[in-house]
Structure 1
Amino acid sequence: MSYVLDPAWHAERARLENISALYDPGTAEICDRLGLAPGWRCLDVGAGTGGVAERFAERVGPAGEVLAVDADTRFLEPLAGGALSVRRMDVTAEPLPGNRFDLVHSRLLLEHLASPEPVLRSMVRAARPGGWVVVEDIDWTTVRAVDPPSPAHDRVVTALLTALAVGPYDQNFGRKVPRLLRAAGLRDVQVRAVSLPLTADPVAGQPAWDLLIDQLAPRLLAAGLVDEDDLDAFHRLWHDGDILGFGPLMVSAWGRRAESADA
């Protein structure tokens, strides 16, 4: 499975934990709305650092079950125990356990895949008849909006989107998720889309931008998409305490598997 970012990058855990801090509350709200409760069986696909899986384990309690799967389980393995189990697997090559889970979830996974539909179908089959599937992926359409306007921000974001366009990564995948859930046979599909405001802290900066651009900087520089002055100006901007921007549009969509396992 290809991945546009390097899971072995020295600050990758910090980057992923920042993403969790931004988006875990919204994920928890959706899953609670769907009735997540003690005794449920949950599957988190592409579980990352395990923030969502841990929240699931807290909700389902000792009578429930949470399976967290990822191709790289270095951050997940220390969390295993009690209701939470961890499995290393490449979901593009291996089928998920079928007809078992009350709730199947993925976030920021399918957008990275050259062929996301087979993995989505595997996720649907993993849900029990009547179970829920929740998919969350982003659409980068909102990230150019900043106030006050900034040429430095625009240059670096343009470079980022150019780099993301190389390879299988789909930077507009989020908008496709509701349609793909319906095509996969899910019923009662609903959608929520949120672009979080991102502010510039004089000390902390804006980790959502700083960590992403720091990891991709060698690639952006090597491709001639930016120079060091561009990157310095970008980081100064997100430490100025004034600029307001917006994160990518997080599209969360969910639907229910048909009550018949053959549907």
Structure 2
Amino acid sequence: MTERAPDGYLLDNRQPEAGDRFEALADLFDGSTFRHVDRLGIAAGGRCWEVGAGGPSVIRGLAERVGPDGYVLATDIDTSWMTAATAPQLEVLHHDIAADAPPPGAFDLVHARLVLVHVRDRERALRVMVDALRPGGWLLLEDADPALQPLACPDESGPRQQLANEIRRGFRRLLSERGADLSYGRRLPRLLRSAGLTDVRADAYFPLTSPAGTALERATVLQIREQLTAKGYATDTEIDTHLANIATGELDVTTAPMISAWGRKPGARPSQPDGFASGSVAAE
């Protein structure tokens, strides 16, 4: 979940608000992520690679599922927030999915959430992840698609909601300027098939309002405040007003749809003790 920019990070993991963002993202999306992981059949003894892990929540969940006889590799270009997750079966490595060679070994599951949408060389990154799968292994990619739903407040019922949407438009401009593909999520099923994967399925999760969504909006705005004002996308007064509106707890702030897509590498399916159950997977 690290976002990389050519001139530095837009959402820098070294900022104090990064921890708040990771907690909010976990509250919002871990349930959906592990619904997919569990349906793919992750079990004791499995080998998993979490790409661009960012925070500790997903790697903790994977480590619990594979147990002491399994293995979870967690990689990112900034591993500082992953130190909160510890387990004998967990290894944390510095790794750039867009530039570095794949790690050794083959994996039953490779997962990335909110990673590829921000990577400039997405084609190479996808190829590295596919190559890291063992025959029968699963690739699960999850990325937002802000172009499908670009608003912070879809119910634009008044000035507070209009201001939130204007600031969200500034955020989207900043992302685009740093190479993010704001319509990448919808292409994931086609890209997985083009990469040679089979049994491809996808769905989307779209939380409309929640305390976690409010917390994510606040942390994100605080992290990008200087960039918003420097580009003229928002003034300090507008940002202060928006933060005050968020603090009331009455602003229904949402996220872009999170699109999850998964596919299987052709070959023999792993047996249950190796980490995955047999049988195909269908979207709910």
How far the C-alpha of 1:16 sits from its partner, in A, is: 1.4
Find the residue that maps to 1:197 and give its secondary structure: coil
Pair 1:249-2:260 in alignment: no
Partner of 2:30: 24
More relative contact order, 1 or 2 (CA 8 Å, 6+ apart)? 2
How far the C-alpha of 1:143 sits from its partner, in A, is: 4.1
Partner of 2:110: 104
Pair 1:75-2:81 in alignment: yes
Partner of 1:231: 239
Deviates more, 1:190-199 or 1:25-34: 190-199
Which amino acid in the other structure matches residue 179 of structure 2?
P
Partner of 2:149: 142
Pair 1:53-2:65 in alignment: no
RMSD: 2.0
Deviations 1:234-256 (A, max 9, x none): 12222333332321110010000
Distance 1:17 1:80 in 2: 17
Counterparts in 2 of 1:94-133, with a 5 A limit? 94-97=100-103, 100-133=106-139
Question: Unpaired runs of 5+ in structure 1?
Answer: none
Which amino acid in the other structure matches residue 103 of structure 2?
P
Deviates more, 1:129-138 or 1:19-28: 19-28
Which amino acid in the other structure matches residue 85 of structure 1?
E
Whether the 8 Å contact between 1:69 and 1:88 is mirrored in structure 2 is yes
Whether the 8 Å contact between 1:147 and 1:243 is mirrored in structure 2 is no
Normalized against structure 2, the TM-score is what? 0.85
Distance 2:130 2:105 in 1: 9
Distance 1:11 1:177 in 2: 29
How far the C-alpha of 1:99 sits from its partner, in A, is: 5.7
How far the C-alpha of 1:216 sits from its partner, in A, is: 0.5
Whether the 8 Å contact between 1:139 and 1:171 is mirrored in structure 2 is yes
Distance 1:20 1:216 in 2: 20
Distance 1:211 1:146 in 2: 22
Among candidates 162, 165, 178, match of residue 167 of structure 1: 178
Distance 1:129 1:4 in 2: 37
Find the residue that maps to 1:121 and give its secondary structure: helix
Distance 1:120 1:30 in 2: 19
Whether the 8 Å contact between 1:4 and 1:112 is mirrored in structure 2 is no
Distance 2:254 2:188 in 1: 21
Whether the 8 Å contact between 1:188 and 1:256 is mirrored in structure 2 is yes
Deviations 1:66-85 (A, max 9, x none): 11111111122353431111
Structure-2 change in CA distance of 1:169 and 1:72 (3 Å): same
Pair 1:191-2:197 in alignment: no
Deviations 1:105-130 (A, max 9, x none): 00011111111111111101111001
Find the residue that maps to 2:247 and give its secondary structure: coil
Structure with the bigger percentage of strand = 1
